[in-house]
Amino acid sequence: MRVLLVCLGNICRSPTAEGILRHKLEQAGLATRVEVDSCGTGGWHIGKAPDRRAMAAAARRGFDLSGLRARQLEVDDFYRFDYLLAMDRDNLLVLEAWCPPDCRAHIGLFLDFAGYENKEVPDPYFGGKQGFEKVLDLVEAGAEGLIDELRRRLEATS
């Protein structure tokens, strides 16, 4: 199973989600069954490490994002991944606009699986420290909900 997490710049939200989802998949014993990647719909930060504030906030909770590098969404992603999950509705609209007609992947919001009413992870880039803590809270819950969904899918197909 392959999961692609998508935000705007690929330096704050989606790398945070990638690091946390990988970590939690390892704890759940599913790391060999699920491949995780992230990207941005925008291309301003290609090749860059995650935002320092995102890395520091994640590190305080025990998640290491330092090895990740930003990349931009490409058409091939719609064929390579089973799930393409956006952090907010603007980026979901971009996914829907780019999605080739013969794409079989599930396209939706990352927080669709978290059981929250609010289904968006707000962009923390232009805000303060608290925005990054909020991203972590939402992403931790989203990752757990998504792992439950993936476990169900894997059990149904094995």
List residues with catalytic annotation: 7, 13, 123
**Tokens standing for residue 102:** 């013969």
Q: Judged by CB, which is closer to ligand 4NP: 104, or 126? A: 126
Q: Judged by CB, which is closer to ligand 4NP: 7, or 114? A: 7
Query: 7 φ, ψ to 5°?
Result: -130, -160
Query: 124 φ, ψ to 5°?
Result: -90, 0
Please identify, among the stretches 2-10, 30-38, 104-112, 146-154, the one whose residues bind ligand 4NP according to the rule CB under 6 A: 2-10
CB of 94 to ligand 4NP, least distance (A): 11
Contact 35, 1 (CB under 8 A): yes
> In 3D, which of 130, 132, 129, 112 has the Cα closest to residue 120?
112
Residues 31-50 that bind ligand 4NP (CB under 6 A): 40, 44
**Interface positions with ligand 4NP (CB under 6 A):** 7-13, 40, 44, 123, 125
